[in-house]
């Protein structure tokens, strides 16, 4: 274990939480209502790739769906990495500083993705490294809900005002992400990367004013923001538009070529998009990314796939599901036409195509 995760384990022990009761979530699965009020979550399942060198931005610009060359120092963006057939191998949260461009993604797929990206560096002046456990990024805390801004500002100072912007300082890096929607109410989400010492000190204070959770809480908040994350179970399953990536600023249709660019552009310009990601709840806490969903009108063929899922603290799970738009008016079930039915909820943003 890293220095940070060792300290989290010790903190969990102080809360009398054992491994069987999910140390990483401190023994408590948070609900959407608790997230809406205000929460802090320890995020331990995300890794970080740093790409440094004179050609770092131009190299990534030619590999990813997003504009990297014009990424500003106080901005953050989503980005995708596609196969030549336009299918997503990974989705990233991306930002930069004076040293490098950073790509955050699930730890479970980081090593092979980093290796694959590295194969295409060739003569570019760019070097990839695993920055996950480097001191400035050791502690990753996710915060959100009504109380989050005031609580976090006491530890990190002035916060980014707009979604997908960031602030850097002695406190570390704070990124404001796309807002989440809980029962129609928008709430901010912040990702704070800092040293293990800063993170532990802040967590000890924040737990007294915010609901305390772990990866489950952060994943649930992302689902309610409609923000997709490609995992090992869903690699090469989706064209970016199928998971709404372009609606969140993760695809730039005016930039130059990248792997899969022709397919992604064709999806935009040659016909109406017929599949999107939607938010739903299901009475099955074991729902997982990669699970198929079935419509009652065509029970023999899946109409979609779970992109992300997290237990919702109410005995079931909330999911982001890629689905045929035509099936949204049908009864849709998890696993088979006889499985538990999905209850769809409004997304926090419009599903209409974006203009250039």
Secondary structure in 3-state letters for the chain: CCHHHHHHHHHHHHCCCCHHHCHHHCCCCCCHHHHHHCEEEECCCEEEEEEECCCHHHHHHCCECCCCCCCCCCECEEEEEECCCCCEEEEEEEEECCCEEEEEEEHHHHHHHHHHHHCCCCCCCCEEEECCCCHHHCEEEEEECCCHHHHHHHHHCCCCCCCCEEEEECCEEEEEEEEEEECCEEEEEEEEEECHHHHHHHHHHHCCCCEEECHHHHHHHHHHCCCCCCCHHHCCCCCHHHHCHHHHCCCCCCCCCCCCHHHHHHHHHCCCCCEEEEEEEECCCCCCCCCEEEECCEEEEEEEEEEEEEECCCCCEEEEEEEEHHHHHCCEEECCCCCCEEEEECCCCCCCCCCC
Quick: pLDDT tens for 232-247: 999 999 999 999 999 9
What is this structure's pTM?
A: 0.94
Q: What distance in Å separates the CA atoms of residue 319 and residue 338, rounded to the nearest whole number?
A: 18
> What does the mean pLDDT of the chain come to?
92
What is the reported pLDDT for 19? Answer: 45
What is the pLDDT at residue 17?
Answer: 44
Positions of the chain with pLDDT lower than 70, given as ranges? 1-3, 10-27, 271, 355-356
> Looking at the domain 274-343, which fold is it?
Elongation Factor Tu (Ef-tu); domain 3 (2.40.30)
Q: Which CATH superfamily is domain 1-270 in?
A: Probable tRNA modification gtpase trme; domain 1 (3.30.1360.120)
Domain boundaries, the chain: 1-270, 274-343
Pairing of strands 185-194, 211-213: unpaired
| pLDDT value of residue 16 | 44
The per-residue pLDDT for range 92-127, each reduced to its tens digit, is: 999 999 999 999 999 999 999 999 999 999 899 999
């Amino acid at each position: 274990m890293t220095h940070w995760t060792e300290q989290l384990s010790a903190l969990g022990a102080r809360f009398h939480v054992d491994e069987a009761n999910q140390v990483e979530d401190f023994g408590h699965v948070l609900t959407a209502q608790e997230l809406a009020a205000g929460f802090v979550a320890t995020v331990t399942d995300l890794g970080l790739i740093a790409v440094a060198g004179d050609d770092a931005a131009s190299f990534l610009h030619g590999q990813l769906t997003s504009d990297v060359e014009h990424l500003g120092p106080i901005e953050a963006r989503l980005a995708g990495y596609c196969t030549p057939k336009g299918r997503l191998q990974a989705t990233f949260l991306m930002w930069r500083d004076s040293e490098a461009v950073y790509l955050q993604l699930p730890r479970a797929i980081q090593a092979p993705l980093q290796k694959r990206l590295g194969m295409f560096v060739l003569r570019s002046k760019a070097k990839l490294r695993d920055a996950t456990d480097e001191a400035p990024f050791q502690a990753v805390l996710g915060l959100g809900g009504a109380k989050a801004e005031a609580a976090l500002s006491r530890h990190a100072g002035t916060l980014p005002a707009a979604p997908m912007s960031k602030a850097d300082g002695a406190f570390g890096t704070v990124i404001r992400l796309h807002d989440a929607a809980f029962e129609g109410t928008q709430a901010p989400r912040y990702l704070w990367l800092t040293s293990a010492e800063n993170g532990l000190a802040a967590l000890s204070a924040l737990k007294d004013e915010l609901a305390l959770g772990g990866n489950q809480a952060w994943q649930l908040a992302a689902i309610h923001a409609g923000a997709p994350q490609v995992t090992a179970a869903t690699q090469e399953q989706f064209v970016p538009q199928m998971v709404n990536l372009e609606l969140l600023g993760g695809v730039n249709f005016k930039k130059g070529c990248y792997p899969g660019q022709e397919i992604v552009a064709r999806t935009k310009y040659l016909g109406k998009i017929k599949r999107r990601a939607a938010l739903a709840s299901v009475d099955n806490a074991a729902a997982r990314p990669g699970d198929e969903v079935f419509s009652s009108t065509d029970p023999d063929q899946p109409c979609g796939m779970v992109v992300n899922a997290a237990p919702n603290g109410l005995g079931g799970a909330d999911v982001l599901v890629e689905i045929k738009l035509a099936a949204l008016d049908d009864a849709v079930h998890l696993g088979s036409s006889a499985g538990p039915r999905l209850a769809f909820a409004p997304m926090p943003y419009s599903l209409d195509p974006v203009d250039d």
